[in-house]
Amino acid sequence: MLALKAVDFQDLDELDLLDLKLHATADLGPLWKRLRREAPVWWHRPRGDVPGFWVVTRYADVLSVLKDHKSFTVARGNMLGTLLHGGDTAAGRMVAVSDGRWHAGLRRLMLSGIGPRVLDLVKDIIETTTRDLVGRALERGDCDFARDVAAQIPLTAICELLGVPPQDRSRVLELTNQAMLSGGAEEPGVEIRVARSRILQYYANLAAVRGDVPGSDMVSLLATSEVDGRRLTKEEVLLNCYNLIVGGDETARLAMSGGLLALMENPQQWRRLRADPRLVDPAVEEILRWTSPASHIGRTALSDVTLHGEAIRAGDVVTVWNVSANRDERAFPEPDHFDIGRSPNRHLTFGHGLHFCIGAVLARLELRTMLRVLREQVASVEIRGEVRRIESNFITGVSSLPVTLNKAASA
């Protein structure tokens, strides 16, 4: 299985959460537990020219920060990679990094584009795609589940949601795969940058066409609607399309791969799932809690705040760590036990409050479909090579999961 090395920081000042390899190779569970116990609001000292930031690890405190929209803002960015380097260039224009009335209006608009009618259409695509991908993996025997199955399901759903014409989908999927499957690299290579540029240009051209001849897709909705009394600019349309592509891909993809790995590492839970279809829905929530694909969420303090006796100053960067909050023993009984029947399961994987993930319903649908198809068609799964994790302090999970899928007798 996937062996992570134990780390022991005698002096917390030695801890560098900006070290990307640390998140890919180390078991940070004991560290998060120590921070929750000893320093639930901890100051991460500056590293060179990179400023310091606050680290919040307890469930109740994470929830408090995410709910407090008067004291904390996302308008400078929502992740360390941008907050510590001058802020997000899309701030105030992309739904994920904007606040206030404009954010509220844009959010309502985008949620209307993922309503029941749209989800009914996308549901069929997800079902067909999942059965096809799992079927092909069973025929081959060996596959990289992360790339060959988990990555393809959300990307296909996004193409449907954004209204990519059937004749373009093969090329768009190819480009989006190249753009998204970078392993979380902070500095992507030339091929990845080119792919991202081309996919953005594709959606820019699509938005221009849909602005004149709109359809019933999200691109048309963004290109023709008003928010807070004005039409979105071309840049705003493009940025929010890209936000959907990235957000719609990462959580579902990483939860699917990490979920299958968790089931392999906990074979009794796999047997429970195969024996009882009623466990699919709670298993979805437990996988989301267990994998926590977005490891942290960033905020900037708007005013001076005191939390656990620590003085957070206006302008300070504050990070709340979902990956820790979702394993907080104060919120979850036996948090380090993977239990697909866990209830209640109020995890914070999709955040909370005004910035709760827009694509949560879609991600849950994709994960639910995958589990249902796997339990029907797959008897067992075996590791067939090196399992690799993403090198990133923002997204966490498996980038490569080589396995053998063994067909169920009833498939």
Q: Is the pLDDT of residue 207 over 60?
A: yes
The Cα–Cα gap between 307 and 36 comes to 13
pLDDT in tens, 107-140: 999 999 998 888 888 999 999 999 999 999 999 9
Q: What's residue 255's pLDDT?
A: 97
Per CATH, the number for 27-407 is: 1.10.630.10
Q: How confident is the model at residue 2 (pLDDT cuts 50, 70, 90)?
A: low
pLDDT in tens, 135-156: 999 999 899 999 999 999 998 9
Question: Which residue's entry shows tokens 């901890």?
Answer: 42
